[in-house]
Structure 1
Amino acid sequence: MRLSDRALQLTARISLLIALASLSAFLLVRTYLGDPETLYNQGTVSETVSRGPVTMEKVRWQLGTMQLYTQLIDEDRRKVVLENNVPGSVVVAVHLAVTPLDGVDQLSDGGFVCDAALRDDRGNVWKNQNVDTMLGPSSCSDDDHPLKLNQPNKLVKLFVVPASAVPHLVGVEVGSLAEYRRVLITF
C-alpha cells in the first residue's frame, strides 16, 4: 500500500469520527435546548404582549396601571406589613383585569391560582404578595371578593422591589405550567 492511500484512509476515518461525534453531541444537546418544560423551568418568556389581553388556562389577563407606594394601609387604616419591605424599597401596585372564562378550573371551589411576577429589563423577577389593602383584592380566591365568570374582575398585584429597579420595570409575567407557556405583558 502506498503512502498516499494510507493518508487518504486515515483522513476518511478521522472525518467520519468527527462527523459521528458532532451528530451525537447535536442529538444530545437538542433534547435539552428545545424541551419546552426545561425552557419553562428556566424562566424563559415565550411571548411578549403589550398591555394584553392574554388568555391562559381559560383566564384572560389585561394590564391596567402601575402605582408606586412607600407604605400601604388596610381597610381598617392599619399599616400593612409586606415581606422584604426594607428601607430603600418601594411597593409596586399593578392593577389588572382578570376574566375567568367558561370552563375555568375551581372558580366556585376556593378559587384558582392566579400568580403573577414583576419583571425588569435586567432579568430580575419579583413574586406577588397576596395582602389585603385599601387598593382592592389581590387574590383570585378571596372569599370577600369572589370573581365573576365571564366578567372583568379588578385585582391588585403587590410587589416589593428596590427603588433602583423601578426605572427598569418592563411588565408583569403570567405563566402556565400545564401549557409550558410564560407571557410578559408589558407596560
Structure 2
Amino acid sequence: MGNGVRIPWAPVNPGESCPARVIHSTLSSSVSQLALRYNIPPPPGFSTFSISAEARGLCNVTDKKTLKVLFTVSYNGKREETNMVIVNVKLLSGFSPDKRSLENLQRAPLVKRVDTEDGHVIVYIDGLRRLLPMNYSFNIIEDVNVRNLKPAVVKIYDYYQTSEHAESEYSSPCHEPEEVNKV
C-alpha cells in the first residue's frame, strides 16, 4: 500500500485470534493493533449451558400455596470452569419469592449474589465446573390466585460472553380443571 502503510496478512485457523499491526510512518507515527476471530457457530443441538427447572408443592391447601422452585445448571463448554454465570428465574404469575429461602440460596455453593427484580430472581454463580451439574432451589408464595397459569422461563448465560446461554421453563404443579377456569 502507499503512504508507508504496511498491513501484514496471514491465514488463520478457525478459533484462533489473528494479531495484526498497522504501522504508518510519516512526520508522526502511530501503532494500531487488532484481533480477528472467526465466528463459527456451534453444531446444531449443542448448548454451552444446560438448565432445567420444576416447581413442586402441595396443591390442595386452602391457604396460600408455597411452591419450591428447583433448578439444575451445568456447563458443557470447552473451558474447565466458567466466568460469572447469571441465572434469571422468572416467577410464576401471582407468586413472590420467600425471603428466608433466598437467604439460604445465597449461602449455596458457588452462589455469589441473589437479587430480586420485577418478578425475577437473579442468581450470580461464580465458576461452574465443566460437566458438573449444580442443584439450587428457593420457595415462592402465592400472593394472588391466577387462573390459566402459564409456564415461567429460566435462563442461564455467561456474564462476559452472553452468546453462551440456555433456557428452559417450569410450570405450577397445581393445574385447575378447565371447567373451573371458564368465566
TM-score by length of 1: 0.37
TM-score by length of 2: 0.37
Greater share of helix: 1
Greater share of strand: 2
